[in-house]
Structure formats: structure tokens, C-alpha cells
Amino acid sequence: MIRDKIKTRGELADLCGQFREEGRIIGFTSGAFDLIHAGHVDYLEKAAEICDVLIVGVNTDESVRAYKGQDRPVNTEKHRIQVVAALASVDFAFLFAERRNHKNIDALKPHLYIKAGDYNAAALTSGKKVEEYGGEIRLIPVSEQISTTDLVRKLCGDSGSDKIIEEQNTVHIERIPFKKSPAVFLDRDGTINEEVLYLDDPVKFRLLPNALSGIRRFQDMGYRIVIISNQPGIGLGYYTKEAFYAVNREMLKAFSESGILVDKIYYCPHSKSEKCDCRKPGQALIKQAEAALNLDLSQSVFIGDKSSDMEAGKRAGMKTVLVRTGFRGEDGEYPGEPDLWAKDLMDAAEKVLNMERI
């Protein structure tokens, strides 16, 4: 019976102890399984072939909304887990509320942690936990390239929003993604690179330790990368926009060599006296990024070295991380504490990851 295959995580933790005593190989995988399609069926059948007991974790409605947006899931957790449990390839299924699998791995300790082949094994957030107790990560090749999000688009008659942009004698189409995504908003000077007063020369550009590895970590965790920088030196006449762009080119070159893809770079050229809304902690640039990239700000993070960065993130409803580089939050312009303190961007990524695991 289907209901006999649906358990709690605690019940399955006890059963896994029995399975290990019996010498049975336990396989574990997870997902939202919102609209079950041929890709899901093929993947789960292949997973069942490499283990004796296949356990499937199904994300609760709340956890699906946390990383797929407020319009998902289409089907409720009650219905989704019933469909998963009905598959012959699945031995047991359970619901879990976390976004990541850290607690599931701790409880079940499966011999095989199974994921689809389009994942990067090195980027799996629970990979180290599996290896600690002698488990193994197995990636199943994807032979049926079907996207649930694409199916939802077709059902809704929506393929995303296209906007025609005309600027500087060019025309291009900007597509707003259908699915809301989280982003990490990064200050530039003092957070990504060494703080230099009115930085206008690429030769003076120096990346901070662990900046590249930290940003890459966020990218691997599924965050879009957005940079927002106050550049009052432009408005004050200390350097030109072209000089600012030249420094950015040096930064983007280093990013490219590390496999980092930046979605957007925004800057405010105004001085504080101009009282614009694009200067942090103003929200104009954040709102532009939200609309252009279809971002979920409630699941996004703002990282910087100044109190104005923290204030900008808080006003937008984001989590905030203050790095102990650059100004170290000692500018004293705005009161209040960040959600997290971090030594550098890599430490920030690890702290945000640990926060997601809760």
C-alpha cells in the first residue's frame, strides 16, 4: 500500500539501522517532484538499480517556495509524496522542511547519496557530511531533459517576459526569467577588492583574499551575482565613468578565469549631497535588479563592509553579512547589527550555507 511507504524521517532513521545490520545498500535522493514527468521516472528507476533500498525525500510546500518562488509548488506536499510513493522504484518517501539535505544525511546515513548528473559533485552542500561516515555520492546521468519549470510555463502560456531595449544605437531583447531566484548582492570596494580611495586605475585593483572562492561558492549554491557600488568620485569629478568601467573590466577578467558569471553591475555616480535614491542604502538599484533578474529578495543576501550596505540590505528585506575587510563596518553612518559577521567572502558563503541548513 502507498501509505505504508510514507514515513517520517525519524521512522526511516530507525529502519536504516535495521537495513545496515542486514547488509542492504541504502540509497537516498530528494527533490520537489512537483509535476512528475518522464525525467523523474527515468532518474528514480536508475537510482533504484544501484541500491537495495531507495529512500526519497520530498520537499515540503514551504521549502519549495523558499527556492522556487511563491508560485510553486503546483501540487501540495500531500499529493506530491503520494505520487512519489506510488512509483515501483521507490521503497520509502518522507517529507522534509529544510532547503538542504544536511539533516537528512545526518539521520539516514545512506550508503549512496544520489543526485542527477547535471549536479556538480564538488558543489553539493552535504557532500562532506556523506564522506565523513564513509558514504558515497553517486550521480545519475540525465537522459530525459525535461524541466518542470518549462512545463509550468507551457501550462500557463508563459515563457517569461521579453522586453525590447534600445540604447547606444543598439537593440537587444532582455528576458526576465520565469522563475524567481535568490541573489547575493555584493559591494565592490572593500568587499571584493582592497579599499582604495576613489579607485580609478586598474593597476591599483587588488582582489581581497578568498574573494574569488567565496563568490564562486555562492554561485555554486544557486545565487545570482549582483554588484552594487557607490561611486561618488564620478559625480565629484575625481574620475570618469570610463575609468570606473576599466576597473570593472579588470575585476571581470579575474572572475571569468575563476568561472564566475556576474549577472549585473550597478553603480551610483552621485555624491551624498545629491540625496538620490540610487546611492546605498537607497533602494533604486536593488529594485532595478529585482525586476531585471526576477529576484526573490526575501531569499537574497547583501554583503558589504559598511553600515550603508547593511542598511540597504535590511530595507530590501534581505539577510545581511558584514565582512571584516575594508571599513569593517566602522564607518558609523547607520546603526544596527548585521545578521552575520564574516572574516571574508568565503567565510560569508560558509556562514550563509550553515544558516540555510537550519
92-96/53-59 β-pairing: parallel
What's the confidence (pLDDT) of residue 72? 77
Active site residue 187: yes
pTM of the model: 0.62
Q: What is the pLDDT of residue 221?
A: 83
pLDDT of 124 reads: 64
Mean pLDDT for each consecutive 10-residue tract of the chain (358 residues)?
Answer: 94 97 96 86 94 97 77 88 96 93 94 77 69 90 60 52 46 55 96 95 96 92 93 94 94 93 94 92 96 93 97 97 96 94 95 74
Catalytic pick among 34, 187, 305, 309:
187
Domain extents for the chain? 2-150, 161-357
Task: State the pLDDT at residue 38.
Answer: 85
pLDDT at 143 (0 to 100): 62
Query: Under CATH, domain 161-357 is a member of which superfamily?
Result: HAD superfamily/HAD-like (3.40.50.1000)
Q: What is the pLDDT of residue 37?
A: 83
What was the pLDDT predicted at 179? 67
- Beta bridge partners, 34, equal none
CATH class of 2-150: alpha beta
**Is 161-357 in the same CATH topology as 2-150?**
yes
The one catalytic residue in 34, 61, 91, 189 is: 189
189 counts as catalytic: yes
